[in-house]
Amino acid sequence: MAPRLVGLSAFVTAALLSFFASCGPTSTCATTCTGCCDAMGQCVTATSTAACGANGATCSACTRSEACSNGACVAVDAGSTDAGACANCRGCCQNGVCRTGNLVNACGADGGTCEDCTVGNRACVANACRAPCGPSNCQGCCRNDVCITSTTVQACGAGGQACVFCGSGQVCQAGLCTTADGGSGRDGGESCAATCNGCCDATDMCQPGLSNLACGNLGARCVVCNGTTCRDSPTTGGGRCF
């Protein structure tokens, strides 16, 4: 190859290498950024839980149980009082500390002030204080302070009472466990009273006995708790109106 062509080729190669090196945003960001570098190689100085990092490191996303503090994802209940951690908190802030926000005495979200749900006898549901699930606000049944309106055999009940599990061969109808054909679901003609640890309804069907609409134990006839509450009887099964 002619000397002139060799020299030109070397010049072009050197120019291209110099161009691509100067255009690389990632290397530039890593050496000059005081925050973190995003996927496009841009420097992010206002770090947050969505883009956390420092000293030119690659930005990372913190989990919901973490906050971005001094460029690092830290557990929100670690006791950090760093102002940045509380400002970037996904839970709630309590005395300058970022909390998860799903505790009954520290409930909240998006960095707001934590609320004590025990005031007013409320529950912390989905990071917000709400009245506990019950007859006043639930037409279905309650489980873990959540109202379940589409009742199933795994969560059967009505009137804001505790959800119960229906037995084998039973279905949930109008908030009560029963068999699909309306029968007792027992073999051999045994009476409900002889085999039921809960209570027996008007169709001689064994019920868990823990609902205000059907309360009882030891195979007794189910009763409606008018003005009282059906409470569990751990020693005998079923429940009693108190």
Please tell me the predicted confidence (pLDDT) of residue 64. 65
**Can you say whether the dihedral through the CA atoms of 17, 19, 20, 21 is positive or negative?**
positive
Range list of H helices, the chain: 3-23, 25-32, 83-87, 192-195
DSSP secondary structure code for residue 92 in this structure = E
In the chain, pLDDT over 70 holds for what percent of residues?
A: 78
- 123 compared with 88, residue with greater pLDDT: 123
Q: Which of 3-7, 103-107, 225-229 holds the top average pLDDT?
A: 103-107
pLDDT digits (tens, 9 = 90+) for 187-217: 434 577 777 878 888 777 788 888 888 888 8
User: How far is 207 from 50, CA to CA, in rounded Å?
Assistant: 50
Please tell me the predicted confidence (pLDDT) of residue 36. 93
pLDDT digits (tens, 9 = 90+) for 60-82: 988 766 777 778 887 665 444 44
Count CA within 13 A, CB hemisphere, residue 196: 29
Enumerate residues 6+ apart whose C-beta is below 8 A from 89: 49, 67, 76, 98, 99, 110, 111
- pLDDT reading at 99 higher than 60: yes
**Can you say whether the dihedral through the CA atoms of 85, 90, 95, 101 is positive or negative?**
negative
pLDDT band at 27 (very low <50, low <70, confident <90, very high): low
Among 228, 169, 173, 222, which residue's Cα sits nearest to residue 193?
A: 222
Task: Quote the mean pLDDT of the chain.
Answer: 77
- 237 compared with 126, residue with greater pLDDT: 126
pLDDT average, residue stretch 137-161:
85
- pLDDT reading at 57 higher than 70: yes
pTM: 0.40
User: How far is 133 from 156, CA to CA, in rounded Å?
Assistant: 15
